Structure 1
Amino acid sequence: MTAETTAPAPVRFDTKIAVLLRDDLETWQRLNVTAFLVSGLSTAAPELIGEPYTDADDTPYLPMFRQPVMVFEGAKEMLTTAHTRAVSRGAALSVFTSDLFATGNDRDNRAAVRAVHRDALDLVGIAVHGPRNAVDKILKGASMHR
């Protein structure tokens, strides 16, 4: 790059994709929960998905999110607070409860969530998508995952 050319400005997205995980999960649980949670967001906002990928040999690969996924962590109470905020704001939201670790399929997962009232869900993770400032307010008090 010469002094005459300038680097493109960094992309700043108007929206944010964020996952909030309970801080007492095992590593395998954190990875599993994150994967499940983000899979639901693209159904609510298909525009989040970019174009398919190909390598130099023209091998096709599936498209992925067009923007980063920010991963946060917090105590059980933080998840409850963030969930309440997200629901009250009508944010696109997916949930993962502790009950889902004992199920083995989508039908049983949905039944496990359906059996519990919203305020009694034992949340281990949530994913949310929305305007940056709204997501920041929903996750206020959570820390970036380490």
Structure 2
Amino acid sequence: MTFPTKIAVLLRADLAVWQRLNVTAFVVSGIAGTAPELLGADYADADGTRYLPMLGQPVLVFEGDADTLTAAHGRAVDRGVACAIFTEELFKTGNDEDNRAAVRAVPRAELRLAGLAVHGPKNAVDKILKGARLHG
């Protein structure tokens, strides 16, 4: 199936495995939370047990160095493509209020990005992620 849009996560390549997983979960929740039309229907097993819906299209995960993340973030902002971000400081906080305060305390040009997620037209997302490589 072909989708007109792309969901992509870009992670900083030097993160520990637990950090990569944590960042991915957080930034993808930002996409799902602001684009509920991307969610499919509830799941159910053969016994009728219901499960929560998931995104109805693939999420591609990329990696790059800090400069690649900074450039991608700038391109997303310049193109008006909304993105979810996770900064280095968020590894030290423990709740949503502190997370938002940590991001709010840093000017955009000084954000120490650990990861981001974008959703938009395929060609726009491809241009935003220029220089990143698929996560291996």
TM-score (norm 1): 0.92
Q: Decide which of 30, 33, 40 is 1:43's aligned counterpart.
A: 33
Q: What residue identity is the alignment partner of 1:131? A: P
State the one-letter code of the partner of 1:80: T
Q: In the alignment, what sits opposite 2:96?
A: 106
User: RMSD across aligned C-alpha pairs, in angstroms?
Assistant: 0.5
* 1:131 matched to 2:121: yes
Of 114, 119, 125, the residue aligned with 2:109 is 119
CA distances 1:32-60 after superposition (whole Å, capped 9, x unpaired)? 00000000112221111110000000000
Is there any run of 5+ residues in structure 1 with no aligned partner, and where?
Answer: 1-10
Indicate yes or no: 2:72 matched with 1:78.
no
Larger Rg: 1
- Structure 2 length-normalised TM: 0.99
1:144 is displaced (CA, Å) by 0.3
Question: What SS does the aligned partner of 1:134 have?
Answer: helix
Question: Is residue 42 of structure 2 the alignment partner of residue 52 of structure 1?
Answer: yes
Aligned to 1:66: 56
Query: Residue in 1 aligned with 2:9?
Result: 19
State the identity as a percent. Answer: 67
Equivalent residues of 1:44, 1:92 under 8 A apart: no
Paired residue secondary structure (2:56)? coil
Unaligned ranges ≥5, structure 2: none
Give 1:28 shift: 0.3
Across the two proteins, how many residue pairs are aligned to each other? 136
Shift of 1:67: 0.2
For residue 14 of structure 1, what is the amino acid of its counterpart?
P
Correspondence for 2:22: 32
